[in-house]
Amino acid sequence: MKLRGIVPAMVTPMREDESVNVDELRRQCDRLIAAGAAALFCLGTNGEFYALSGEEKRLVLRTVAETAGGRIPLMAGTGCVTTAETVELTRYAKGLGYDFASVICPYFAALSQEGAFRHFSAVADACRMPVILYNIPARTGIDLSAETVARLARHPYIVGIKDSSGRFENTLAYLQSVPRDFAVLAGNDSLILKTVRAGGSGGIAGCANVCPERMVRMFRLNEAGRTAEADAIQESLKPLRDLFPGRGSCAVIKRAMNRMGFPVGPVRAPFDLTDGPEVDAQLERILPLYASGKDG
């Protein structure tokens, strides 16, 4: 299955008591599908996978699979600290009918490039479902090298990578090292168009929770050769993204969604915003631009 386009990195809606809000999760699935998403990605960084229990992860996976009902490809964030845990959760997602597993580099403990190669290979060998590597060195402490990714790309079940390094030169190195049919996806919303124009497949986008139609339109305009219009839409995301540093993207995105009338609740303590009123004041200025359809 080809993966190309905008894939929203879904938030995990929660109630004020921090329990998973299944009803709102279903509504968000329907909303993102209607917006033209290329696939749905749950349990990523913006889905607070690191803050959810194993039972809660399985609840999210079941809810998204049941709600999507085969209408759209599905990607599950199944990466855990250990290989055994990752295999277990990946097999669970496969059993629910997920099309891809997004597997983050193991985190906290130090890991070499060879260790990462063995981990991803073992997961793919054991689960035999398409795996998307997830490179986010600021959170995991390891930056997958182009050489390692090229080795992994030879595995029949390792089919792509999400690069959240934030360095376009890193993405280019991947593109130059892997086969043409290996999906290279931007994990930084500001690099989606550059990635696609260099031969990438699209982006896994946190901002698509806030303005999914706009981001899908950006991708489609670029595909149609209307690059200036696409660039204007991507530039219009900058005021929202400028709120992320020092706060975390998920906390800002959830704050924005709540203000838009989508009750996705807080992020789990202790990661919620400490300067909510300040962020709200800036969102009050930013969000009407997206609602109005203006691109700049």
Report, as an integer, the average pLDDT of 122-143: 97
Domain 5-226 has CATH 3.20.20.70: yes
Q: Where are the domains of the chain?
A: 5-226
Distance between CA atoms of residues 68 and 45, nearest Å: 21
Site of tokens 């809606």: 13
Catalytic-labelled residue, pool 162, 174, 254, 290: 162
* Ramachandran region, residue 123 (left: φ > 0; alpha: ψ -120 to 50; beta: rest): alpha
Tell me the pLDDT tens digit for each residue of 246-267: 998 999 999 999 999 999 999 9
CA–CA–CA angle 12, 232, 237 (5° rounding): 25
So what's the pLDDT on residue 294? 52
14 pLDDT more than 90: yes
51 pLDDT more than 60: yes
User: Cα torsion for 88, 133, 4, 245, to the nearest 10°?
Assistant: 110
Tell me the pLDDT tens digit for each residue of 172-197: 999 999 999 999 999 999 999 999 99
- The DSSP bridge pattern shows strands 74-77 and 5-8 to be unpaired
- What's the whole-model pTM score? 0.95
CA–CA–CA angle 182, 218, 226 (5° rounding): 100
Q: Per DSSP, which regions of 150-226 are E strands?
A: 158-163, 183-186, 202-205
Active site residue 238: no
Q: Is 91 exposed, middle or buried (0-12, 13-18, 19+ CB in 10 A)?
A: middle
Active site residue 134: yes
Catalytic-labelled residue, pool 92, 98, 134, 290: 134
